[in-house]
Amino acid sequence: MERVALITGGARGIGRGIALDLAGHGWTVAICYRTSQQEAEEVTRTIEGQGGQALAIQCDVSDPTAAAQLVQHVEGTWGRIDALINGAGPYHRVPLFEETVEGWSEMFTNNLHPIFYLAKAVAPGMKARKSGRIISFSMANADKMEAQPHVTAHYIAKAGVLVLTRTLAKLLASDGITVNAISPGFIDSGSAPPGELDGVAKKIPAGYIGEVDDTVQAVRYFLSDEARYVTGANLHVSGGWGI
């Protein structure tokens, strides 16, 4: 049976890794990007070159109307969405009292709100089929509710992702839909600012920085039949950092 995944932020980093992995396992993949057109087209070319089906769609999922139209586009093209993977989520580091109103708002607008918009849009189709998977990304220590003077808004948004994940899980469980979160620690995905990962390994109990494939494997588990009874979970992929 054809399975269709919609991956936001699928042009680069972890989202790209997920897209290529799922395509390699027979999934049809739609990726959404906001500005990374060249990278998105490279992902689709790679998938199609390997005999898979892929679609790259430019969309700002922080816009609720655009998010709904994105889901309609994918469902109109392939008739279904079996998995929604919320991979988009920018961040910036700035001391709290130097944060701007725009910067504060951006963290919630891009990290938290789209998960609600997209879940609301994909839920009817998943309910009708009594099957579906929704996976979102938090961060490895967001469940500790610690003070975060330099990434305050981003951290609060990622804590909100966990609350939203559990709420969606409870609401959609009776329809055969699972909703889970993955909380990466330090992952060498190419998205960190230059120098940020330097010296980080010594802070990680496992002793090394994670790779994109570590996160991909977590996604694969949540999409598997083995995880059919797992919902509302938050899986740390951090080598012990943040726990």
Q: Which residues are catalytic?
A: 155
| SS3 of residue 238 by DSSP | coil
CA atoms within 13 A on the CB side of 11: 16
Token pair of 129 as six digits? 């089929």
If phi over 0 gives left and psi between -120 and 50 gives alpha, with beta otherwise, what is residue 190? left
Q: How many angstroms separate the CA atoms of 62 and 68, rounded?
A: 11
Task: Count the helix, strand and coil residues of the chain and give each as a percent rounded to the nearest 5.
Answer: 50, 15, 35
Place of tokens 């999409």: 223
For the chain, first and last CA: distance in Å? 39
